[in-house]
Structure 1
Amino acid sequence: MTRPTARVLALLELLQTGGTHTVGELAGRLGVDERTVRRYVTHLTDLDIPVRSVRGRYGGYRLAPGYRMPPLMLTDDEAVAVLLGLLTSHSTTSVHAADSATAKLRRVLPARLGARLDALMNTAEFTTGARAEVPVETAVLLDIAAATREHRLVAIGYTDRNGQHSQRTVHPYGLVAHSGRWYLTAMDNNSDDLRQFRLDRITETTTLPETFTPPTEFDPTTHLVSALATAPYRHEVSIRVQGTPTQIRPLLPATIATLHEIDSPPTDPTPWVRVLIRAEHLDWIPPVLAALNRPFVIEHPDALNDAVCALGQRLTAATTSGAIPPTGNADD
């Protein structure tokens, strides 16, 4: 995935080589049309970068004489922290400001670090509202991002959730930040399967000279969300809930549940949905069912019935244990 911000930065790099560049030349180098080049130039001028328009037969764009942005002295860890903060802050109100700040940051970094961050910008994806919170080694993140962009094999040391350590060689397809963690979707040469690896469990990386061709139209985010929702867990939960998928989905996102509409009999046109959840623990499900505020039937496991009953007893006990006297005057 190539981000528009990265192309704007690439345009600035071309202009800094000096001289006047025609719109056609820039479009060819960036792989976009001429109208898009003009839009990118507008982005640069909005950042107060002095791009000059040259008219005439040999006209085009150039930077003002003597313009050069100084390097910004940040460590790799600091630069990655700032960049990830900007990339995850995009919203309907802040996307322009975030893009502008990203462009400024990228442009003033030293070339070596800037090139590594380019790889991260061009490969990282984020699920809605996601911001990675589990610490990941900066070197691991940047190495994997570079290998993903360059389609190069990577040898990794990996510790699974059972504490078992192994050495693997993988084809990195995509990086996704989801629910506080970084995930790598990759073809695992050891098992010849497409797998998800948590980056905080990768202990070492070695980028290999061999390259590979990734599958066409592959979407790392969609694949990760689907894989997490169908991964094997301790409990297989099935619940019938009265309502439509649109009504139920906000509290049961695709990352934790799959929804299937149930055919209603002619005598009962009320819509119902079967909710399937794979969970290591059941204690979080009763509060979610209560928040749905809809009739539901637990099909299995029986332990979930017990958990729902226990929640109901706690709530009942809380309402009958005596109200706390109000403070302040009644007229306040």
Structure 2
Amino acid sequence: MPRPIARVLTLLELLQSGGLRTVPELADRLGVDERTVRRYAGHLLDLDVPVESVRGRHGGYRLAPGYRMPPLMLSDDEALAVLLGLLAGRRAGLMAAAGTASETAAAKIRRVLPERLGRRLDALLGSLAFTAPPGTAPPGTSTAPETGVLLSVADAVRHHRPVGFRYVAADGRRTERTLHPYGLVAHAGKWYVTGMDPEADGERTFRLDRMAGARVLAGSFAPPEGFDPAEHVLSGLAGAPHRHEVTVRVQGSAEDVRARLPAGIAIVEELPPGAGPDPGTGRWSRVELRVDRLDWLPAVLASLDRPFVIDRPDELRELVTACAARLADAARRRPPRA
């Protein structure tokens, strides 16, 4: 969109927010001089937008009362924010009372968007996976990537095209990367893309908020059959290096144990029959965690409500013993009589 036209539309957005806007204020918001603001107001009048001019010391421009905007003129960022907000609300169960209203609202927005933007948003919504099950609000602090990065990566995922980008690692190193992206994943308020890194000759996962300058490259690739992007991201996060390596055996199937643990913190593997600490006690699973702190793990193990055995480290065994003693002591206390 040519810059003058974009600024005229921005002026219209400012005026439709209500109230009187002074010429100096509009000039500052638009990054132009006051004469240009008056010219832009004239352009709106030529388009039959009822812009009223108010004279005087505190004069400026405003829209005539009762004027209604034509339906939906959204920027890329605004359209993405609205559609993702509707999607996240449905998944978190926040819009259950609205029935199908959120779905019909998303469909209406999609129909009036420009074809170019509509295709890119369709690519995003069609390639996005969530680690949290429907009806679960995402934990953690949300870290939003750049809209251009998100839409470009989604386009590459959908059409099986390589994507190039600049990346800032956790230690601050900056590199130029190329990835064959298999899927987009939303987890704990953050966005990830996972796929094959041709330079490293292996599968890698990158955080989108650390990416910049994403662009779809020439060529194509075939993603592997049956690849689960969400599961791959969770396994990678659970296996990342940390200060403590923890191994615990828990009574129960891998599926049952995994359902009782927060997503992305543990690797759970079901053990063969008889591999538990006591013969004849049913199925057992090995849980491996890599964590920076151990003090929160006793409460997690207690919440499993299952028999467990700590293989390592000994420090965790001592913390669980101390936690059990505190709980037993608290349970023995009686409230004072009135």
2: CA distance, partners of 1:254 / 1:310: 27
Rounded to whole Å, the distance in 2 between the matches of 1:71 and 1:211 is 38
- Which of 218, 237, 243 aligns to 1:228? It is 237
Are 2:257 and 2:285, in contact at CA under 8 Å, matched by a contact in 1?
A: no
Match of residue 190 from structure 1: 199
> Deviation per CA, 1:168-205, whole angstroms, max 9, x where unpaired?
11112211112221110121122121111111111332
> In the comparison of the two structures, how many residue pairs are matched?
257
Q: 1:323 to 1:180 in 2, by over 3 A?
A: farther
Partner of 2:281: 270
Percent identical pairs in the alignment equals 47
Deviation at 1:317, TM superposition (A): 6.4
Query: Which residue matches 2:223?
Result: 214
Match of 1:126 in 2: 130
In structure 2, the CA distance between the partners of 1:97 and 1:275, relative to structure 1 (3 Å rule), is farther
Partners of 2:175 and 2:119 lie apart in 1 by 30
How far the C-alpha of 1:81 sits from its partner, in A, is 1.7
- Answering whether residue 320 of structure 2 is matched by residue 308 of structure 1, we say yes
Residue 296 of structure 2 aligns with an amino acid whose one-letter code is W
- CA distance 1:273–1:80, shift in 2 (3 Å): same
Give the 3 Å change call, closer, same or farther, for CA 149–264 of structure 1 in structure 2. closer
- How far residue 321 of structure 1 moved from its aligned partner, in angstroms, is 8.2
SS in 2 for 1:152: coil
- How many angstroms does 1:233 deviate by? 3.6
Tell me: CA distance 1:151–1:325, structure 2 relative to 1, closer, same or farther (3 Å).
Answer: farther
Aligned to 1:107: 111
Question: Which SS does the other structure have where 1:211 is aligned?
Answer: coil
Give the whole-Å Cα distance in 2 for the aligned partners of 1:151 and 1:265. 43
Q: Displacement of 1:275 after TM fit?
A: 2.8
Question: What CA distance in whole angstroms lies between the structure 2 residues aligned with 1:215 and 1:246?
Answer: 24
SS in 1 for 2:315: helix
TM-score by length of 2: 0.65
Partner residue in 1 for 2:310 = 298
Shift of residue 262 of structure 1?
5.1
**Where does structure 1 differ by over 6 angstroms across 4 or more consecutive aligned residues?**
none
Deviation of 1:97 (Å): 4.0
SS, match of residue 271 in structure 2: strand
Cα RMSD, aligned residues only = 3.2
The verdict on how the C-alpha distance between 1:126 and 1:254 changes in structure 2, with shifts beyond 3 A counting, is closer
283-292 or 94-103, larger mean C-alpha shift: 94-103
> For residues 234-290 of structure 1, what are the alpha-carbon distances to aligned partners after superposition, in whole Å with 9 as ceiling and x for unaligned?
332211223444543332256333132353489842225233222222233211111
In the alignment, the residues of structure 2 paired with residue 87 and residue 160 of structure 1 have an alpha-carbon distance, to the nearest angstrom, of 29
Is 2:250 the partner of 1:241?
A: yes
Q: 1:315 to 1:268 in 2, by over 3 A?
A: same
Q: What is residue 290 of structure 2 aligned with on the other side? A: 279
Distance 1:177 1:99 in 2: 20
Where 2:162 maps in the other structure, the secondary structure is strand
- The answer to whether the 8 A contact 1:173-1:185 is kept is yes
Residue 163 of structure 1 deviates from its aligned partner by: 2.2
Q: Which stretch of structure 1 is more off in the superposition, 136-145 or 88-97?
A: 88-97
Q: What is the CA distance between 1:130 and its match in structure 2? A: 6.5
Residues 1:193 and 1:265: Cα distance change in structure 2 (over 3 Å): closer
Structure 1: runs of 5 or more not aligned: 1-69, 327-332
Structure number with greater Rg is 2
Distance 1:173 1:261 in 2: 30
C-alpha contact 1:183 1:196 (8 A) present in aligned 2: yes
**For structure 2, which runs of at least 5 residues remain unmatched after alignment?**
1-69
Q: What is the one-letter code of the residue matched to 1:311?
A: C
